[in-house]
Amino acid sequence: MKGKPLLQKIMAWVERFNDYPGCDRKELTVKVQMWVGTAYALLHVLILTPTFLIFAPEALKVLIGYGYFLAIVLITSLFVTPWIKRQIKLTYFIQMIILLMGTLITILHLGGIATSGGLIVVCLALMLCTVPLQDSRISLASFLLFTFIVIISGLFSSFFSAPASLTPKINSILFMINTLSMSGLALFLILSFIAQQRKLEQLEANKLKELNEAKNKLFTNITHEFRTPLTIIQGMTNLIKTNPEEWMEKGTVKIENQTRNLLALVNQMLDLSRLEAGAMPLHSFQSDIISYLKYLSGSFISLAQKKDIQLNFLPENRHFMMDFDQEKIMYIVSNLLSNALKYTPCNGTVELYAGQMKEQNEFVIKVSDNGPGIPPEQLPFIFDRFFRVEEDQVTQEGGTGLGLALVKELVKLLGGSVRVISSVESGTTFIVLLPVTNNAPEKEIIPNEAVPPADLVSVSNQEDVQQSYTGSVIFTGDLPILLVVEDSTDLKLYLKALLEKQYRLEFANNGKTGLQKAFDHIPDIIVSDIMMPVLDGISMLDILKHDIRTSHIPVIMLTAKADMDSRLTGLDKGADDYLAKPFNEEELIIRLRKLIELRHILHDRYAAGEQVLTDNLPENLEDSFIQKIRLVMEENLGDDNFDVHQLSRTLGMSRSQLYRKFKSLTNKSVIDYFWTLRLYKAQNLLQTTVMNVSEVAWAVGFKNLSHFSRAFKDQFGVNPSAIGK
C-alpha cells in the first residue's frame, strides 16, 4: 500500500525533471520512459561492476572496463538529456549506437557471442528500448545495427579468444543475470507502453465527450437565441389581434426589431461558418490605416457621449501605410469598441490605441476600457461562440456572444492574432496584432465606404433589453453590388435599411464620387438621384453610359423631379428605369430585381459560343465591347501565351474592371470565353477550310493534339476528325 505513493512520487519527480516550458505531453512521456530505462540500466551496471571489482578484479578486467564505459554514458545521459529540448529522439538514438558499439567491442574481447556472459541479450534489450520513441525509422535502424553486431560477433569470434578466467560457470551465471535483468527492462517497457495506450484511449474518449457536450451547448444556445425573439413576436401578434388600437404601432415596431435580431443572428452564424470554411475572400488595399481607424473611432463618439464615456483615439504614428481589408478591420474594431462601450459603465474611459510594434513587422490595435473586467475563470472562453459572462452587469446588456468569436476568426483570416488582458479592478484590454505588408494596390480611404452598422453605434435601451439589438456586425458577402448615388443622409439610411439584405451596398454623395465608385467597383446596378452637388445625376449617367467599362450597368434614376421633361432626358441619356420620389418600396425592390434578371437574359446572348461568332449583333456599346474583345482574342488565337493581362492592357481597363464587366455581361470568365471561342473557331475552320486537324489545332493555339481532341470532344461531343469538309 505504501509502495504506490512512493512510486508515484518518484515518477512525478522524474516528470518534473524532464519537463520544460512548452514540452508537450507526448514528448514528455517519451522522455520519461527513456529516462527511467536509462536509470534502470545504470542500476544494473552499478550493481554488477563493483561485484566484479570485489570478487574477481583480475579475472574480469574486460567486464569491469565495460562497466565503467556504460556508467559514464548512462550517467551523462541521465543528466544531459532532460535539458535537451529538440531532437530528443535523435539524442537517444545516438546514445543507443554508442552503447551498442561499446558492447560489440566487449563481446569481441570476450571471445564472441557464446563466451560473453549474455551481452548479446543486452544488445537485444537496447534495441527494444527504441520502442517508446515510436519512430519506425529509428527502430528499423536499431534492428539493422543489432543484426550487424550478431553477424560480426558470430563471424569474427574465431579471431579472439575468451579470457581463461571466464570459466563456463561464470559465463552461465553472467548469462543468467543479464537475461533476467534485461527481461525486467523489457517488462517495464511493455507495461508502460500499454499504460500509455490506455491513457491515449481515455483522452480520445474524453475529447469525444467534450465535443458532444459542446454540440449540445451550441444547440441549447441557438434554440435559446431564437426562442426569445420568437416569443416576443408571438406575444406581440396576440396583443395586436386582441387590442389593435393600443398595440398596432408599438407592437409592429417590436416585431420589426425582433425579426431584425433574428436575421442578424442568422447572418452572423453564416459568416462564422463561411470564415471557418475559408470561404470569405480578402479584398486588401494599401492605405493609411491610422486615418481609417480615426474615422472608425469617430463613428462611436456619439454613442460614447450618450453614456458620458470618454473615448480617446491614441495613434502612435500620424500616418501608417499598409495592406488591409477595410471591411474586415471595420468589423474587428467596431465589435471591440462596441463591447467596450457596452460593458463600461457611465463616466468611464475607452481608448483605441494604434501603432507599429517597434522593430517588428506587426501593427497593433488595442482597445482598452476601465469597465467591470472579465473574471479570470471566464477569460479562456470569451472567444467561444455564444459565450457571455454571467454577471449582473453583463446580462443586463443585450447580445448573443458571437461578436468576439467573429473577431477571432477575422483576425485569423488576416494572418494576425488577438488576445485579452482583463482584471476586475482595472478593466479590459483587447490586443490585435496584424502582419504588415505593402504589396496590395494603393487606394485612398473613402469614408462611408465601410460604415459601422447603425445598430452597432446606437445606445442600448435599458428598459427593453430584448428590443435593442446591440449585437455584432454582419457581412453582406457576395451579393450583387448596388451603388446608391444620393446626397441625402436620411434617404441613404432608409435605402440601406431597405436593401442591405439583398445587395452589397456602396454609397456616393454626388455624381463625381458616384463615377469614381462605379469605375472602382463595377457595380451590378446603380440607383441615382438627379439633383446633386458637384455633378448631377444626368451628367453622371451620360458619362457612365458612354464609357466602355460601365456602359452595361443598369441605372435607375430616383428623383423628386416627377415632371415629364426630366424623365425623358433621363431615359434619353440611357437610364434603364425611372422612379419618382416618394416611391413605393415594393416597386423599387421589384424594378431592381427585374433589371438584374434582364442581365441574365443578356448572359445567355453573349455566353453562347455560336452567337459569339455571328457578326449581325445590334450596334451598341455592349456589343462593341464584346466584339472588341473577340477581335483581340481572334488575333491572338494561335498564341498560347496570351492571357488576361495582355487583354486588359489592350482594352485599357484594369484586370478587375475587365473581369467584373465581362462577368456581368456573359456570366463567364474571360478565360472560359477565350477557350470556347478557340474551339468554335476550330469547328469553323474544320468545316470551311481544307486544313487538317493538327493544322487547325495549331491555328487555335493548341500545341498538343490530344489535348485539342479531348477539349473538342468535351465541347461538341464528337472528335475533330469526324467533322466533314
Strands 504-508 and 417-423: what pairing? unpaired
Residue number, 289 or 474, with CB nearest to ligand ATP: 474
Measuring CA to CA, which residue among 507, 473, 496 is closest to residue 333?
473
Indicate which single residue of 129, 275, 382, 541 sits in contact with ligand ATP (rule: CB under 6 A).
Answer: 382
Based on the shown chain and the rule CB under 6 A, indicate whether residue 288 belongs to the binding site for ligand ATP.
no
Alpha-carbon distances of 577 from 256, 508, 570, 651, rounded to whole Å: 30, 19, 9, 29
Minimum separation from the CB atom of position 338 to Mg ion (A): 6
How many whole angstroms separate alpha carbon 239 and alpha carbon 237?
Answer: 5
DSSP 442: B
Q: Crossing angle for the helix pair 655-666 and 585-607, nearest 10 degrees?
A: 90
Based on the shown chain and the rule CB under 6 A, indicate whether residue 402 belongs to the binding site for ligand ATP.
yes
- Positions that interact with Mg ion (CB under 5 A): 339, 403
Which one of the spans 195-203, 395-403, 438-446, 647-655 is the region binding ligand ATP (CB under 6 A)?
395-403
369 binds, among ligand ATP, Mg ion, none (CB under 5 to 8 A by kind): ligand ATP
Using alpha carbons only, give the angle 715, 716, 718 rounded to the nearest 5 degrees.
125
Residue number, 220 or 489, with CB nearest to ligand ATP: 220
Looking at residue 570, its amino acid is: G
How many whole angstroms separate alpha carbon 413 and alpha carbon 410?
Answer: 5
Minimum separation from the CB atom of position 492 to ligand ATP (A): 25
Answer positive or negative: Cα dihedral of 354, 355, 357, 361.
Answer: positive
Measuring CA to CA, which residue among 435, 466, 454 is closest to residue 494?
454
Based on the shown chain and the rule CB under 6 A, indicate whether residue 352 belongs to the binding site for ligand ATP.
no
Residue with cell string 430616383:
558
Long-range own/partner contacts, residues 534-540 (CB < 8 A, 24 or more apart):
534/510, 535/510, 535/511, 536/511, 537/485, 537/511, 537/570, 538/566, 538/569, 538/570, 538/573, 539/511, 540/485, 540/511, 540/512, 540/514, 540/515
DSSP 689: S
Q: Could you please report the per-residue DSSP string of 78-133?
A: HHHGGG--S-HHHHHHHHHHHHHHHHHHHHHHTTSSTTTTTHHHHHHHHHHTTGGG
- Applying CB under 6 A, what is the total number of residues that bind ligand ATP? 24
Indicate which single residue of 222, 389, 421, 431 sits in contact with ligand ATP (rule: CB under 6 A).
Answer: 389
Neighbours of 211 (CB within 10 A): 10
Question: Hey, what's the cell of 39?
Answer: 536509470
Residue number, 171 or 339, with CB nearest to Mg ion: 339
343 binds, among Mg ion, ligand ATP, none (CB under 5 to 8 A by kind): ligand ATP
Which one of the spans 101-109, 116-124, 388-396, 512-520 is the region binding ligand ATP (CB under 6 A)?
388-396
Based on the shown chain and the rule CB under 6 A, indicate whether residue 408 belongs to the binding site for ligand ATP.
no
Based on the shown chain and the rule CB under 6 A, indicate whether residue 374 belongs to the binding site for ligand ATP.
yes
Residue number, 257 or 428, with CB nearest to ligand ATP: 428
67 binds, among ligand ATP, Mg ion, none (CB under 5 to 8 A by kind): none
Residue number, 323 or 369, with CB nearest to ligand ATP: 369
3-state class (DSSP) for residue 660: helix
Asked if 49 and 71 touch (Cβ cutoff 8 Å), the reply is: yes
How many whole angstroms separate alpha carbon 451 and alpha carbon 295?
Answer: 10
Indicate which single residue of 111, 118, 452, 471 sits in contact with ligand ATP (rule: CB under 6 A).
Answer: 471
Which one of the spans 79-87, 151-159, 205-213, 367-375 is the region binding ligand ATP (CB under 6 A)?
367-375
Which one of the spans 468-476, 483-491, 566-574, 605-613 is the region binding ligand ATP (CB under 6 A)?
468-476
Neighbours of 593 (CB within 10 A): 13
Indicate which single residue of 67, 229, 371, 523 sits in contact with ligand ATP (rule: CB under 6 A).
Answer: 371
Nearest residue relative to ligand ATP (C-beta): 403
Based on the shown chain and the rule CB under 6 A, indicate whether residue 404 belongs to the binding site for ligand ATP.
yes
Based on the shown chain and the rule CB under 6 A, indicate whether residue 400 belongs to the binding site for ligand ATP.
yes
Alpha-carbon distances of 587 from 495, 559, 595, 599, rounded to whole Å: 13, 14, 12, 19
How many whole angstroms separate alpha carbon 725 and alpha carbon 715?
Answer: 19
Minimum separation from the CB atom of position 311 to ligand ATP (A): 13
Measuring CA to CA, which residue among 317, 423, 412, 339 is closest to residue 374?
423
Question: Hey, what's the cell of 85?
Answer: 529540448
Answer positive or negative: Cα dihedral of 72, 74, 80, 86.
Answer: positive
401 binds, among Mg ion, ligand ATP, none (CB under 5 to 8 A by kind): ligand ATP
Based on the shown chain and the rule CB under 6 A, indicate whether residue 304 belongs to the binding site for ligand ATP.
no
Site string for ligand ATP, 231-270 (x = CB under 6 A): ----------------------------------------
Based on the shown chain and the rule CB under 6 A, indicate whether residue 428 belongs to the binding site for ligand ATP.
yes
Q: Which of residues 321-350 bind ligand ATP (CB under 6 A)?
A: 335, 339-340, 343
State the DSSP H helix or E strand holding residue 505, giving kind and residue range, or none if neither: strand 504-508
Q: Which of residues 43-82 bind ligand ATP (CB under 6 A)?
A: none
428 binds, among Mg ion, ligand ATP, none (CB under 5 to 8 A by kind): ligand ATP
Based on the shown chain and the rule CB under 6 A, indicate whether residue 711 belongs to the binding site for ligand ATP.
no
Which one of the spans 96-104, 309-317, 380-388, 641-649 is the region binding ligand ATP (CB under 6 A)?
380-388
Q: Which residues bind ligand ATP (CB under 6 A)?
A: 335, 339-340, 343, 369, 371-372, 374, 382, 387-389, 394, 399-405, 428, 470-472
